[in-house]
Amino acid sequence: MMPILISAAPLGLNLIEILIHLFNILILVVVVRFLLYKPIKKFMAKRAQEYATQADVAEQTTGEAKELKEKYENLLDNAKKEAVKITEDALAVANANADSIICEAKKKASVIIEKAEEEIKIKEAEEKESMAGAISELAVAMATKIIDREFRQKDNDAVINLLVGEWKKG
Amino acid sequence: MYSLLGGKFTDFWRDQFSDAFSGGLGHAVDEAINPDPVSFFGLEVNPALYTAIIISAIIIVFAIILRVFVIPRFKKNPKGLQLILESMIGYFDRSAVNTLHKKHGGFVGPFIFTMAMFIASGTLIELVGLRPAFSSINTCFASGIAAFIVINICGFREKKLKRIKRYVPNILNLMSDIAVPLSLSLRLFGSIMSGFIIMELLYSTVFLSFAIPSAVAIITTFFHAVLQAYLFATLSVIFTQEAIE
């Protein structure tokens, strides 16, 4: 068996070098932590916070907008209903007015017609009166001619008037 | 003490490899595993330490530039660089906070983010010709110990003394705790070192040293960089979750 040599450390293991490396790593970690890690993390956290706040605000605004939308939709619905109601009311009133106007017009028309009919009757009566005179004269003339004798108006009035009266009735 | 078996083991395989490839490839592997030490304030260290410091400096300068010029101009709709930064930090923060809640997530999140960046860039720097920072066992152990410290800080904050008391009925808990940094560091070291060795082997062989490395680097460097960064971060979170439950 060969004697074991206590030679240089295997692979150059060296305690002082390890300590230097440890010191190096310590400085590196501290520098990177304070110059890179923390500021970037802080920036990212701040941005995440901002985004969260923005999301909250957006959510709130959306909620408010929805509420407003509902409110305005309700208002619009109400307004539409009111408009329909107003139109209907107006239509009803107009119809009623029209009806009353038509009714009045009909009444007026019937009055006018009645008046006209009365006037016609009066005129008819007058015409008949005047025509009766003319007829009686004509009859007297005719009778005079027929019997060739002059009747006096006064004598014949009784007979003729009787006839004329019957004609009027007829 | 710790070198008794490990040194023997690596020496043996190095010799085997050297014999098999008659020196050329063996030397490349030797260079990858045991590079010539460089001086660091009079201390002989693995060149990976320099890479780690360069990477840290780059990350710090990058962080300062981002903090001063980019972050103040962030927009609400992320695009380009902002989107990449936000996605990365958002991912690590979510994975930490969702698993560990806000109390520990705020502490673990920056750590796993930094470690993931450090591991990914420390491995990807291999593409510009530097030695990957995690090709040194020291860097990997330091990362594992850092994760261990973070895990235990969270554990003690959550459980107080109960965390120590649980060793009394079952001493195996102590071993499972110690296994955490070991597994984290050795996993990191193994995968990145293996990728690095493969690349070194390719470059050391003349007829393999053009065009092929660009294809192989996708698996050995890109894939490992992203995968190990992700694994380290995820496992740290999972171990922390175990510690606080």
| B40 to A20: CB separation less than 8 angstroms, yes or no | yes
Q: Which residue among A19, A26, A35 places its CB closest to the CB of B67?
A: A35
Query: pLDDT for A10-48, tens place per residue?
Result: 667 888 889 999 999 999 999 999 998 999 999 989 999
B23, B240, B45: which is closest to B139 by C-alpha? B45
Handedness of CA A37, A42, A47, A53 (dihedral sign): positive
Query: pLDDT for A91-109, tens place per residue?
Result: 999 999 999 999 999 999 9
Task: Enter the ipTM.
Answer: 0.85
Instruction: Name the minimum distance, in Å, from the CA of A22 to any CA of chain B.
Output: 5
Which pLDDT belongs to residue B91? 92
Return the SS3 of B202. helix
HEC readout, B185-199: HHHHHHHHHHHHHHH
Which pLDDT belongs to residue B38? 84
Q: How many residues would you count in chain B? A: 245
A24, A48, A55, A28: which is closest to B93 by C-alpha? A48
Judge residue A14's burial from the number of C-beta atoms within 10 Å of its C-beta, 0-12 exposed, 13-18 middle, 19 or more buried. buried
Residue written as tokens 């970690």? A29
Which pLDDT belongs to residue B20? 61
Query: pLDDT for A120-155, tens place per residue?
Result: 888 888 888 888 888 888 887 877 777 765 556 666
Which pLDDT belongs to residue B31? 76
Q: Please tell me which residue of chain B has the smallest CA distance to A46.
A: B76
Q: Please tell me which residue of chain B has the smallest CA distance to A6.
A: B4
Which pLDDT belongs to residue A4? 41
Asked if B97 is an interface residue toward chain A (Cβ–Cβ < 8 A), one would say: no
State mean pLDDT over A62-87.
Answer: 94
| B6 to A35: CB separation less than 8 angstroms, yes or no | no
Asked if B186 is an interface residue toward chain A (Cβ–Cβ < 8 A), one would say: no
Residues 6+ apart with CB under 8 A from B199: B126, B213, B216, B217, B220, B221
Does the pLDDT value for residue A9 go beyond 70?
Answer: no
- B103-116 burial, b if ≥16 CB within 10 A, otherwise e? ebbbbbbbbbbbbb
How many other CB atoms sit within 10 Å of the CB of residue B239?
23
Judge residue B63's burial from the number of C-beta atoms within 10 Å of its C-beta, 0-12 exposed, 13-18 middle, 19 or more buried. buried
| A36 to B37: CB separation less than 8 angstroms, yes or no | no
Which pLDDT belongs to residue B245? 82
Low-confidence ranges of chain B (pLDDT < 50): 1
Adjacent-strand bridge partners of B38: B45
- pLDDT bin (cut points 50, 70, 90) of residue A74 is very high
Max Cα-Cα span within chain B: 63
pTM: 0.70
> Which amino acid appears at position A83 of this protein?
A
B235, B209, B202: which is closest to B95 by C-alpha? B235
Main-chain phi, psi angles of A34, to 5 degrees = -85, -25
Instruction: Name the minimum distance, in Å, from the CA of A67 to any CA of chain B.
Output: 32
Which pLDDT belongs to residue A32? 92
B126, B179, B173: which is closest to B148 by C-alpha? B179
Instruction: Name the minimum distance, in Å, from the CA of B135 to any CA of chain A.
Output: 10
Do the bridges between strand B38-40 and strand B43-45 make them parallel or antiparallel, or are there none, so unpaired? antiparallel
Asked if B114 is an interface residue toward chain A (Cβ–Cβ < 8 A), one would say: yes
Helices (H) and strands (E) in chain A, counts: 3, 0
Q: Which residue among A19, A39, A50 places its CB closest to the CB of B67?
A: A39
How far is residue B32's CA from residue B220's CA, in Å, rounded to a whole number? 14
How far is residue B194's CA from residue A14's CA, in Å, rounded to a whole number? 21
How far is residue B227's CA from residue A46's CA, in Å, rounded to a whole number? 32
How far is residue B116's CA from residue B110's CA, in Å, rounded to a whole number? 10
